[in-house]
């Protein structure tokens, strides 16, 4: 039978979805930093890996669970620094998986919370490669636990929004995709990831959306790590003097009434446009 090139797209599509023998990729959430917050399933996945592609924020103690002889490749990304492109990470994953190896894609936090895990799952499915996902503790939950600030509270917060402070390609977001005015009901918590560079813009957007400038903000750097630092401020501080928080990445911002509750441990306070390490009177709610 004569070959019909017009039918090539059909066979090409089928081949792309045929399973690749022996290939397996596991997207593993490494959690916020503290290696003790790894799940048992995550540890088992790391121990079984032939190749580990790990993010910049993965704690080195987490990598110690890998067996001897494993290939480890750092594929970290940091805003404002030389970083791996996602397309190149995709190529690496496919290259090693198609070689019949067990590949662990080790991500800080949870793969499906601002971790681009969805893109990698779609890639692997389309290539016919078996993929599993192991969840990890995301930064907002870790920050809430270490400071003992609840993300939800029956009297103070009935809903939570996870918001990225970084736009596509680590650019600055415009926050136009979210109705901040609708969230200004006094019963909502914003958990802002990657918000160090955009704290000022976020504060101004919140004020423009009608949020009270005295709304509490709690910033947590390096949640769950030994070097964790907490800073209390207000939406007004974010808008007018974001540098007074002296934040460094990685940090998460909790915005809302719950952020004014008593914090467990040391707390820095933004007061008179300067940072101090002495606790002020904590806000308490009935």
Distance CA 260, CA 249 (A): 22
Q: What is the number of other CB atoms lying within 10 angstroms of the CB of residue 93?
A: 23
Distance CA 92, CA 284 (A): 51
Eight-class DSSP state of 70? -
Is 77 an active-site residue? yes
Sequence-distant (≥ 6) Cβ neighbours of residue 53 within 8 angstroms? 73, 75, 89, 92, 93, 96, 103, 104, 105, 106
Is 8 an active-site residue? no
The residue from 8, 50, 59, 77 that is catalytic is 77
The residue from 55, 59, 110, 237 that is catalytic is 55
The structure tokens listed for 38 are 């790894």
Q: Are 240 and 203 in contact (CB under 8 A)?
A: yes
Mind giving me the DSSP string for 154-193? Answer: TTTBSEEEEEES--GGG-----TTS-TTTT-SSSEEEEEE
Eight-class DSSP state of 227? T
- Catalytic residue numbers read 55, 77
């Amino acid at each position: 039978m004569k070959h019909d090139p017009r039918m090539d797209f059909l066979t090409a599509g089928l081949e792309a979805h045929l399973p690749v023998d022996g290939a397996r990729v596991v997207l593993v959430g490494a959690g916020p930093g503290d290696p003790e917050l790894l799940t048992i399933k995550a540890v088992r996945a790391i121990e079984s890996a032939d190749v580990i592609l790990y993010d910049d924020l993965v704690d080195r103690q987490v990598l110690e669970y890998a067996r001897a002889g494993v290939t480890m490749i750092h594929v970290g990304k940091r805003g404002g620094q030389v970083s791996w492109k996602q397309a190149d990470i995709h190529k690496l994953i496919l290259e090693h998986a198609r070689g019949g190896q067990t590949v662990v894609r080790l991500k800080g936090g949870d793969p499906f919370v601002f971790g681009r895990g969805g893109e990698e799952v779609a890639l692997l499915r389309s290539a016919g490669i078996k993929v599993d996902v192991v969840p990890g503790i995301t930064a907002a939950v870790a920050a809430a636990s270490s400071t003992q600030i609840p993300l939800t509270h029956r009297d103070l917060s009935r809903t939570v929004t996870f918001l990225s402070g970084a736009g596509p390609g680590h650019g600055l977001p415009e926050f136009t995709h979210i109705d901040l005015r609708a969230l200004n009901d006094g019963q909502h918590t914003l958990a802002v990831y990657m918000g160090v560079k955009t704290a000022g813009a976020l504060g101004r957007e919140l004020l423009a959306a009608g949020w009270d400038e005295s709304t509490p903000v709690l910033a947590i750097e390096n949640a769950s790590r030994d070097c964790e630092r907490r800073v209390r401020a207000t939406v007004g501080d974010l808008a007018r003097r974001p540098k007074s928080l002296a934040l460094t990445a990685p940090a998460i911002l909790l915005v809302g009434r719950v952020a004014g509750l008593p914090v467990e441990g040391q707390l820095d306070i933004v007061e008179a446009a300067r940072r101090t390490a002495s606790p002020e009177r904590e806000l308490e709610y009935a």
